[in-house]
Amino acid sequence: MKKIRESDIETYFCWAVEMINGKTWKFKSPGRSGVADRVACLPNGSTHFVELKTRGGRLAPLQKMFAADMATLNQKYAVLWTYEHIDQWIKERQ
């Protein structure tokens, strides 16, 4: 069986968000490591910071700090590991 790469998960996430008429952007923050991979804006007006990993992938310490910052700021943040996680995440937001 072919190993799923993180880039495969990211491509699928972008496609899934587009299928519900949302948009995603690659998120980079110069000088600050650990920020989420993607920002997703959904048709309902919500904005989400999303970290994409493969099954077995772990959050680095700076990614954990970013997740904690998002929780403190009451922002929408998710870590998604599989196609099934993405499908469930999308379903919960429709």
pLDDT of residue 29: 85
pLDDT of residue 2: 72
Residues 50 and 56: beta-carbon distance below 8 Å: no
Residues 10 and 38: beta-carbon distance below 8 Å: yes
Chain position carrying tokens 């077995």 = 56
Sign (positive or negative) of CA dihedral 85, 87, 91, 94: positive
pLDDT of residue 71: 97
CATH number for 6-92 (one of 3.30.70.120, 3.30.390.50, 3.30.565.10, 3.40.1350.10): it is: 3.40.1350.10
CA separation for the pair 74, 77 (Å, rounded): 9
pLDDT of residue 12: 97
- Successive 10-residue mean pLDDT values, the chain, 94 residues: 85 98 92 93 97 88 96 97 96 92
Would you say the pTM of this structure is higher than 0.75? Answer: yes
Q: What are the boundaries of each domain within the chain?
A: 6-92
